Amino acid sequence: MNTLVRLADLGRLHARTMYPLIPSYHPPDPDTGELGPALPRPIGDVIATEFIDGINTRIVVFADGSYLIGHPQRWLYAGGDVIGDAAMGVVKAVRPLAERLSDSAPVEPDTVLVVYGEMFGGKTPAAARYTARKEVGYRTTDVAVMALHDDAERKFLPEKQLLAFTAKYELPLVPRVARFPARDLPNKPTGVLTLLEEVLPSSRCRLDADADAGPAGLIVRTVDRGWVASLRFDDYRRAKKRKRKSGSG
């Protein structure tokens, strides 16, 4: 047990398994914050899931059942360690899931299984969106398989396989909010804000009834995960305020 994780180049593995940046559907200007043109829309249906404002986590499982737990900055724990990094409570939140995966999830030789998720609530910066009592939640966002012997890209599970995998291993999945043709994604920021307000008036990840902040937004992706974009409430609300101010000048 733990042979493969001990032999791995952890720095290289950390870089290769980091969750890729999801582009904004209307990319904001880094200097002014103004929203640029919408990304080209894909063909077919898209699935809208809730954007969770938490701490991105990774569980990396090796073929011998050894595993690592990490967040964007560093590794926090290796299966079997006596002491783990207590940062933000990530290890405590996801270790039971990692143990379950290490016991039963199929991993081919020379590959790793990577389960990405969001830990939220607790002492995370945006905890108020979800809890007033410091409760902690976790949702799986993606699952990928990656070869170790070369620089091949991650192969993310498409929607059908992702649903089957998370159900089999009892991994709580980020809420599915809506599914619709990609052509129905609004091109204008005002239309996107209307869409957000209609389909996600409140977070589906609230951990207690006293949570006092609204949802962060949506992640929209194609069924095969070949196209993905984020739609954040704050971006579109700021754009609306800017438009009002410029119209009143």
Condensed to tens digits (0 to 9), the pLDDT of residues 93-113 reads: 999 999 999 988 888 888 999
Residue 13 has pLDDT above 50, yes or no: yes
Closest by Cα among 236, 160, 225, 196 to 20: 225
Q: How many domains, in total, are found in the chain?
A: 1
Domain range holding 138? 3-248
Question: What pLDDT, on the 0 to 100 scale, is given for residue 138?
Answer: 97
Average pLDDT over residues 48-77: 95
Average pLDDT over residues 223-227: 96
Cα end-to-end span (Å), the chain: 67
How big is the CA angle at 132 (ends 130 and 134), to the nearest 5 degrees? 85
Percentage, residues of the chain above pLDDT 90: 76
Question: What pLDDT, on the 0 to 100 scale, is given for residue 71?
Answer: 94
d(CA 134, CA 53): 15
Note the pTM of the prediction, 2 decimals: 0.93
Question: What pLDDT, on the 0 to 100 scale, is given for residue 1?
Answer: 52
Pick the more confident residue, 213 or 106: 106
Q: Give 97-153 as a DSSP string.
A: HHHHHHHH----TTEEEEEEEEEEETTSTTGGGT-SS--EEEEEEEEEEEESSS-PP
Q: What is the CATH number of the domain that holds 38?
A: 3.30.470.30
